[in-house]
Amino acid sequence: MHLTSQRTFLASAVGAVLAACASHTAVVPSQPAPFAPSGGAMVAAVSPAAQLSNGLRLKPCHADAKYYCGFLRVTLDPAGQVPGKIEIAVAWLPHSDTHRRSSGTIVAVEGGPGYPSIGSRGLYRSLYAPLLATRDLLLVDNRGTGASDPIDCSPLQRAPIMLVRDVTRCGEELGSSSDLFGTGLAADDLAAVLAALKIGKVDLYGDSYGTFFVQAFAGRHPSLVRSIVLDGAYPVTGGSPWYPSSGPAMRRAFDTVCRLSVVCAHIPGSSVSRLTRLIASLRNGGAGGIVPSELALVMDSAGLNPLAYRDLDAAARAFLDAGDVVPLNRLAREAYAYEEGAGGRASAYSQGLFAAASCSDNPQAYDMRLDRGARAAAWRSALERKRTQDPDLYAPFTIDEFLGMPPDYAYVPLCVGWPVPSPLHPPGQPVPPGTRFPSVPTLVLTGTLDTITTPGEGDAATRLFPRAHHVMIANTGHVSALGDLYGCASSIVRTFTASGKLDDGCSSTVPALHLVPSFGRDLADVAPAIPANGNRATEHDLRAAAAATLAAADVLARAYQFSLASGTGLRGGTFAAATHGNATNAALTRIAWTRDLFVSGASLSNALTTRASAHLTLQGAAGGTIDASWTTVGMRAVATIHGTVDGRSVEATMPAP
């Protein structure tokens, strides 16, 4: 398990941070609030519970008057060692049917740690929309995130790659407050908000780190819990500091996507066997400077980025069989550009809170109570023992290769230089030792392709709760219900929250991912499309038609996954793109999937309808115009192609790209 700073497997990023309210006193550097109250009185239709006398007064929000927003001022350090208060941001969406009493409150909690829950309100509102006529939705930004006085450490917040030295510097900046942003205290803040709002038992939903938070809240405040959903879960207690399920999860996932792909399943050997050969070659410096740790990041972050699954096996074959490093290089660049690195405002995502919560909460391979020098020595000893006793822990990578990733993925050495916590805030105890978790309806969701919070970690979280069910969602990565394009995981969540009943019949029906069949430097290396009735094209023409279709699909996939407005083709050319909701449109200008064919034209796809099409003009090794259409998911999906190449009519099919 790696607590990651990125978003979900299928959902695009949430929209921009909204207008702020007036500043407020804080003990950590304050940022503009992403969702803020406006002036004016509460409307009469709002529940009287929103009119409070104990420090929390909600008002209609600037950005959306359907929400009511405010701040609850709480003690920064309940133990009293560090003085000061911190303001906890609250957004409350009352049920829309004002003629009926509320049937309960849903509390949704974001991941990271470091993301604000209020910032993802659109995703939560969409997930629970059918229930919100009679249920209220409550969102609270954890201390140190969003509008709750976000931690803004320099240079950690703006560094392109997370480094342990910058994490250490952040801890030094926070000083005596460095141990005051753990999950236990944040869970107690939520309990204080519920008390202020006079809300009793709630239905909890957490995604990614939000599952860790929800478990901590349930363990610390069991009387306030009615039901629990953990989406992309790992256990709040009992975990290993080495995260031993990471290696097996990666191996299983890459072999699975190959086995379920018509363009990969027939290749002799397993996908992991090819990747193991690739890693051995990288150790010899034969891939243009790519090192095994960079490939580890590509594989470990695949649960967030389906393009890693889509491309990596073919990229490995291109390098091993033909010395073509271009596809592999692109995957490595994308992993660091889109799955790693910071930038942006701390109110949108706080790298400092990620570090502070992680170092407060999680099991470590060294004793956090040791001073920095002794802790570093303990870390070196622990690492040497692990190298000797369990060298295949992260196979096909060595331990050092895997831990060579940035520490928000490698994770184990993250907290070596973090300040020693106060004895009043013992590290690694988000819940007290011996906590018994409440016997309430509990649903755990895990994607079968999740490399971030692995299926094994989902099992471990499930075992903590007496009435828990663990549901695996096929062909899905990290976090299944948010931005759910297939309507499966989201429907399971809604049914479970509404009734406590489990209806998971759809969990095995989510279609398989499409994989790239192969990468080729030149048109002669591309497998030809399959001729259909009426075809007059030669094999060369059919190779050109297939390459052009692959080029268009490649642009659409990257424009959607990374929310790109523009970009370049695999081997040259440019594209402009726009994504609105689930629909992506792209204009291609001389995109080069191979070095000798240049593809221009227009393509579009819709992730919800799973349909894509392209109208393309070919130049270079072949000339002409083709139209292609295909379904974007499913093991046996087929693309149909018709048009003219070098004066000959093309009627053909190919596995959908």
Give CA–CA dist 208/304, Å, rounded. Answer: 11
Helix axes 306-322, 246-259, angle to 10 degrees: 80
Give CA–CA dist 54/290, Å, rounded. Answer: 58
**Residues with Cβ < 8 Å from 284, sequence gap 6 or more?**
none
Nearest alpha-carbon partner for 443 in 163, 205, 196: 205
The predicted structure's pLDDT at residue 199: 96
| Domain limits, the chain | 48-241+430-499, 520-657
Nearest alpha-carbon partner for 17 in 87, 120, 157, 94: 120
What are the helix and strand counts (H, E) for the chain? 15, 18
- End-to-end C-alpha distance for the chain, whole angstroms: 31
**Number of Cβ atoms within 10 Å of the Cβ of 531:** 17
Nearest alpha-carbon partner for 70 in 99, 34, 105, 36: 36
Using alpha carbons only, give the angle 313, 317, 321 rounded to the nearest 5 degrees: 175
Q: String of b and e for 150-178 (b: at least 16 CB within 10 Å)?
A: bbbbeebbebeebebebbbbbbebbeebb
The predicted structure's pLDDT at residue 343: 67
Strand partners, 104: none
Give CA–CA dist 250/296, Å, rounded. Answer: 10
Residue with the two structure tokens 């405002």? 345
The predicted structure's pLDDT at residue 7: 36
Task: Give the DSSP letter of residue 614.
Answer: E
Q: Which two tokens stand for residue 131?
A: 């229930």
The predicted structure's pLDDT at residue 38: 54
The predicted structure's pLDDT at residue 53: 42
**Beta-sheet pairing, 225-231 with 136-140:** unpaired
Using alpha carbons only, give the angle 86, 94, 104 rounded to the nearest 5 degrees: 95
Q: Which two tokens stand for residue 518?
A: 């192969």
Give CA–CA dist 7/348, Å, rounded. Answer: 12
Handedness of CA 445, 450, 453, 455 (dihedral sign): positive
Q: What are phi and psi of 454, to 5 degrees?
A: -75, 165
The predicted structure's pLDDT at residue 37: 59
Nearest alpha-carbon partner for 275 in 238, 247, 237: 247
* Identity of the residue numbered 86: I
Q: Is 117 helix (H, G, I), strand (E, B) or coil?
A: coil
Q: Which two tokens stand for residue 124?
A: 């939560």
Strand partners, 230: 206, 444
E strand residue ranges, 78-223: 85-93, 105-109, 136-140, 202-207
Average pLDDT, consecutive stretches of 10 residues, N- to C-terminus, the chain (657 residues): 41 29 29 47 39 71 87 96 97 95 97 96 97 98 98 94 96 98 98 96 98 98 98 97 97 97 96 97 83 97 97 97 96 92 84 97 97 96 98 98 96 97 96 97 98 98 98 98 95 97 97 96 97 97 98 97 96 97 96 98 94 98 98 91 98 97
**Beta-sheet pairing, 105-109 with 136-140:** parallel
CA distances from 3 to 31, 145, 414, 507 (A): 23, 15, 11, 25
Cis geometry, peptide bond prior to residue 438 (ω within 30 degrees of 0): no
Report which secondary-structure segment, H or E, holds 151: none
Q: What are phi and psi of 549, to 5 degrees?
A: -65, -40
- What CATH number is given for 48-241+430-499 in this structure? 3.40.50.1820
Q: Is 315 helix (H, G, I), strand (E, B) or coil?
A: helix
The predicted structure's pLDDT at residue 2: 44
Give CA–CA dist 111/120, Å, rounded. Answer: 10
Q: What are phi and psi of 94, to 5 degrees?
A: -70, 155
Q: Which two tokens stand for residue 479?
A: 């976090």
pTM: 0.92
CA Rg, the chain, in Å?
A: 26
Q: Is 552 helix (H, G, I), strand (E, B) or coil?
A: helix
Handedness of CA 338, 344, 350, 355 (dihedral sign): positive
CB 657 within 8 A of CB 549: yes
